[in-house]
Amino acid sequence: MQVKEYKPLIVAFCCNWCSYAGADLAGNNRLNYPADVKIIRVPCSCRVNPTFVLRAFQRGADGVILCGCHPGDCHYTSGNYYTRRRMALLFSMLDYLGIERERTRVEWVSAAEGAKFAATMNDFAEKVAALGENKRLEDLRCKK
């Protein structure tokens, strides 16, 4: 019997104006990143509130990454600054509760940074894979 290779499920919240286009560019340039990265397009990284992150974990994500415009480049002027504060506090709180730090990340990726997008996803997926399955923020009801 073949042992199924463990592949982490990753949810990436991507800002419509930068990272989502960055992901597109990565695709156009034939840059590889794991197929288990599920992208959710959001109008701005600051659309993501902490419940989104927790819900992603609840529904089976092993890692959650937020990608937004570089600070200063927000399509809406300041959205990503709020994201930055919010996620800094949320990640610190998750760590405080003993949840692995490497499961969450924020990365600023512009529309021109297809290569960075792919590299970020590869690196993140690798780090999450090293942690193994998300056990500390799982909802058993949602496991198949």
Partner 1 sequence: MFKCSVNEIYNVFAKIADGKKLYVPADNKDGNAVYTEWAEGVELSNALNTAKSPKDFFFPQFENLMEFKVEGKSIEVNDIREASEDFVVFGVRACDVKSFEILDRVFLVEPFDSYYASRREHGVIISMACTRPTETCFCTTFGIDCTNPGGDIAVWKTEDAYYWQANTEKGEKLLAALELEGCGEDAVNEQKEKTAKVMSKLPLAGLTTDSFGGGKTMELFNRPEWKTLSESCLGCGTCTFVCPTCQCYDVKDYNTGNGILRFRCWDSCMYSDFTKMAHGNNRLSQVERFRQRFMHKLVYFPENNEGIFGCVGCGRCLAKCPISMNIVKVMKTIGGND
Partner 2 sequence: MQKINRNVLVEKAVSLLENGTVCCVLGWKKGEFDYDITPAVFTTKEDIEANFVFDDFCGANFSKYLVQKTRKAEGKILVFLKSCDTYSFNQLLTEHRFDREKVYAVGIPCEGMVDINKIRAISGEGISSVECGEKITVNTIYDEKFEINASDVLLERCESCKSKLHVAYDELIGEEGEVLESNRFDEVAKLEAMTPDERFAFWQSELSKCIRCNACRDVCPACTCEKCVFDNPKSGVENKAPANEFEEKMFHIIRAFHVAGRCTDCGECSRVCPQHIPLHLLNRKFIKDINEFYGDYQAGAEVGSRAPLANYTTGDIEPSEVFDGRGE
> What are the backbone dihedrals phi and psi of residue 3, each rounded to the nearest 5 degrees, phi first?
-80, 130
Closest approach, Cβ 27 to partner 2, in A, equals 25
Whole-angstrom Cα distance, residue 80 to residue 74? 6
Query: Does residue 136 interact with partner 1 by CB under 8 A?
Result: no
Asked if 56 contacts 64 with a C-beta cutoff of 8 angstroms, the reply is yes
Strand order in the sheet with 104-108: 37-42, 10-15, 63-68, 104-108
- Of the residues 38, 59, 70, 85, which one makes contact with partner 1 according to CB under 8 A: 59
| Contact pattern for partner 2 over residues 67 through 106, marking x by CB under 8 A | ----xx-----x--xx-xxxxxxxxxxxxxxxxxx--xxx
Query: Does residue 127 interact with partner 2 by CB under 8 A?
Result: no
Binding site for partner 2 (CB under 8 A): 50-51, 54-55, 57-58, 71-72, 78, 81-82, 84-101, 104-106, 136-141
